[in-house]
Amino acid sequence: MADAETAKPPPYIAAPRFNFEIARMGNEGVPDRVDKRYLAGMADGTQFQYRQAFRSLGLTTDDDRPTSLLIDLAGGNPSDRPELFGKIMVDRYPELTGLPLDASKDDFFAVLLDRYGATSDVQRRKMLTFFVAAADYARLPISPHIRPTKARTGPRKTKGRRRTKAPASRPAKAAARTPETRADHGAQDANGSPAERRDISFGDAGSVSIDVNVHWLDLPDEKFTELRKLIKDIEALGDSGS
């Protein structure tokens, strides 16, 4: 169990992507180091957050080398991962997993502040989101009162008000879509996060852009491997043609 001097704050990353990285290691093998090179597809700031997450969970050392926990988690039977991950959560964050089943968000945030010194509201909300998703994956019982509020999907009700006729105006000219516009409004995954994107250059002939918006953990192993190989093959074509 992590003691008071070595306790690291819980992760504040996207749980689906974290699970994807574990599944990736299960298929490709655990790397010698979970460092910038291994996480090359992420932005620098995101890489830092994921490296901190692996350290916080006890899956890597402070110099990013895998621990036996990571080897067991990624290298074992995928069906055993939820149970093992649950044990990791209980060992690393006993104050959070031990909260009563009627605990509130304020109780959760108080532990983050007192135990881990987490003062940023944004980080604490992200820690809460990761913790709830991880607890559900590991089948750990948690208070329903700490769950993040789901966004409304239906139309918002408004009070009746007198309508006034807007003056006629010429329709605005639609802005031309440019590569920059497309990047700013790219695909999103089921959690509202930007989908993974690869831009492959073919020199003077142009380029090919791939937006990957799939639930990786829902794919059978053979489909997971085939899809990654297909993307790598297209990237290799671009490299050889540039």
From CA 27, how far away is CA 23, in angstroms rounded? 6
Would you state the structure tokens that stand for residue 158, as one six-digit string? 């408004």
Q: Do residue 202 and residue 128 come from a single domain?
A: no
Q: Do residue 35 and residue 133 come from a single domain?
A: yes
The mean pLDDT of 198-226, rounded to a whole number, is 72
| Domain edge (last residue) among 105, 122, 146 | 146
From CA 97, how far away is CA 42, in angstroms rounded? 30
pLDDT(106) > 90: yes
Neighbours of 17 (CB within 10 A): 16
What residue has token string 């918006």? 213
- Residue 209's pLDDT is 78
Does any domain span residue 82? yes
Q: What pairs with residue 200 in β-bridges?
A: 208
Which of 187, 188, 190, 186 lies closest to 217 in space, CA to CA?
A: 190
What is the percent of the chain where pLDDT is above 70? Answer: 72
Please give the mean pLDDT across all residues of the chain: 80
Does any domain span residue 226? yes
Does any domain span residue 171? no
pLDDT per position as a tens digit, 4-19: 445 788 999 999 999 9
Q: Do residue 49 and residue 122 come from a single domain?
A: yes
- Residue 212's pLDDT is 74
Q: Would the CA dihedral through 48, 80, 189, 40 be positive or negative? A: positive
Does any domain span residue 154? no
Domain that holds residue 75: 15-146
Q: Do residue 63 and residue 133 come from a single domain?
A: yes
For the full predicted model, state whether its pTM sits above 0.75.
no
- Residue 180's pLDDT is 39
Which of 188, 209, 189, 187 lies closest to 198 in space, CA to CA?
A: 209
| Domain edge (last residue) among 123, 146, 169 | 146
The mean pLDDT of 221-241, rounded to a whole number, is 69
| Domain edge (last residue) among 146, 172, 187 | 146
Query: Which residue did the predictor score with more confidence, 168 or 98?
Result: 98
235 alpha-carbon distance from chain centroid: 24
Does any domain span residue 7? no
Does any domain span residue 8? no
- Residue 197's pLDDT is 72
pLDDT per position as a tens digit, 37-74: 999 989 999 999 999 999 999 999 999 999 999 999 99
DSSP symbols for 98-121: TS-TT--HHHHHHHHHHHH----H
Domain count along the chain: 2
Does any domain span residue 234? yes
Give the pLDDT band of residue 195 (cuts 50, 70, 90): low
Q: Do residue 136 and residue 34 come from a single domain?
A: yes
The mean pLDDT of 189-193, rounded to a whole number, is 49
Would you state the structure tokens that stand for residue 46, as one six-digit string? 């995101």
Query: Which residue did the predictor score with more confidence, 158 or 25?
Result: 25
How do the residues of the chain divide into helix, strand and coil, expressed in percent and rounded to 5?
50, 5, 45
Q: Do residue 55 and residue 129 come from a single domain?
A: yes
